[in-house]
Amino acid sequence: MAILLLVIIYIAFIGLGVPDSLIGSAWPAMHDELNIPVEAVSVITFLISGCTVLSSMFSAKILNKLGTAKVTAFSTAMTAAALLGYSCAPSFWFMIPLAIVLGLGAGAIDSGLNNYVALHCKASHMNFLHCFYGIGVSLSPYLMAQALSNVGWRGGYRYAFYVQAFIAILLIVSVPLWKKTSSSEESEEETSVNLTFLQMAKKSEVRLVWIIMLVTNAIEYACGVWGSTYLVEEKGFETRYGAVALTIYYVGMSIGRFVSGLLADKISTWKRIGIGTVILAPAVVLMLLPLNGAVSVIGLFLIGLGNGSIYPNMIHLTPHNFGKDVSQSIMGSQIAFAYIGVMLAPPAVSLISGLLGIKVYPVLLAVLYVAMIIALKCFVVRLKKQGKYDTNV
């Protein structure tokens, strides 16, 4: 793959990350200004994630017909338009259709680029790709924190729009570059097989990987959406410091993915996944301990560090675990279930914390962690029985 095209793909993943952390860092200020309940954030995240699920599920046919380049460019432009809309939103109800646009755009980008890199690049590139996603989600709360100190949350959304619009223009201009370097991509697409949902659901190993993707992303977004609010409501942080703490969480995620990429040529993908799960254990314990807010920030950083590498490494293994011919279909389904986790985690936290108080938030993270460990163990056992567990990948 041409180096320039790889750089373009990395930048595109910054654009994928930019919108994802804005709502979590801005919401403490947004719900005050708009005079709506704090739990209403779950409506927005549910809609974004639900539309991302739909987009991911149908991505194989769309990508095979239009190509990764055009779909990525158009979808990034959609997300940029949605961010501009949020900055002007006069009420909560105005945000509803914008959430739909944001979700539909994100699903196609995620599925297309992940499968492209999984098929054509080394594991290190997949981790670096998601490290750039981490840059995007780290940049947004930083921009929002600056805006909250000066021009308010609407300014934060405008700052994010400027970044996203630049990336969208870059992707549109780069479409011809994809055509010049796409001969191998086209050969993969010609031999790809589109599986239906029922065909995939009949395979136990596919069902297990769906659970893994659901839970790891539920952990990620439970922290990304509710981490700042937890620190503000339970630990007494000021709103802007809650946004800064969320930046630290996403920095941990970026570091985890960057280091995983550096180790890709020395340590197998499955071992890197194992290291991530080990780091998560003390991170969850720190969140559970009734100590001051600084300890919780460290816990959030370690969750980002450990959990951050699990998603891209599982994505990279898709062609190896299931075959290149069906990888786009299964990739789309994996990402769909990842976003089901994104969709369900925030409202679940909202519902349970509404009943029992935000203090139970760390307990929910612990439950998700245990569920992920069990699913991973079962998945590995299933792959070993099929002779597909490759520790050299």
Element housing 78 (H / E):
helix 68-88
Cα–Cα distance, 94 to 349 (Å, whole number): 24
Residues of the chain falling short of pLDDT 50: 184-190
With CA atoms as reference, report the closest residue to 1 among 113, 110, 134, 88.
113
Handedness of CA 125, 131, 137, 139 (dihedral sign): negative
- Would you say 59 and 189 are in contact if contact means Cβ atoms under 8 Å apart? no
With CA atoms as reference, report the closest residue to 64 among 186, 200, 196, 198.
186
Fold for domain 3-175+187-386? Growth Hormone; Chain: A; (1.20.1250)
Token digits for 31? 């719900």
Supply the pLDDT for residue 374: 95
Place of tokens 């005050």: 32
Token digits for 301? 């950083």
Supply the pLDDT for residue 115: 77
3-state SS assignment for residue 239: helix
Please report how the helices 269-288 and 361-386 are oriented relative to each other, as an axis angle in degrees rounded to 10: 160
Please write the tens of the pLDDT for every residue from 87-110: 888 888 888 999 999 888 887 777
Cα–Cα distance, 373 to 219 (Å, whole number): 12
**Termini Cα distance of the chain:** 20
Please write the tens of the pLDDT for every residue from 190-210: 456 777 778 888 888 899 999
C-alpha distances in Å from residue 294, one per residue of 236, 237, 240, 336: 11, 10, 15, 34
Please write the tens of the pLDDT for every residue from 234-265: 887 877 788 788 888 888 988 888 888 888 88
Q: What is the pTM of this model?
A: 0.76
DSSP 13-40: HHHHHTTTTHHHHHHHHHHHHHT--GGG
The C-alpha torsion from 42 through 43 and 44 to 47, rounded to 10°, is 110
The total of other beta-carbon atoms located within 10 Å of residue 127's CB is: 28
Supply the pLDDT for residue 181: 63
Cα–Cα distance, 252 to 342 (Å, whole number): 19
Cα–Cα distance, 48 to 115 (Å, whole number): 22
Cα–Cα distance, 324 to 187 (Å, whole number): 11
Beta strands in 283-353 (DSSP E): none
Element housing 338 (H / E):
helix 327-356
State the burial class of residue 198 (Cβ atoms within 10 Å of its Cβ: 0-12, 13-18, 19+): exposed
**Residue extents of the structural domains in the chain:** 3-175+187-386
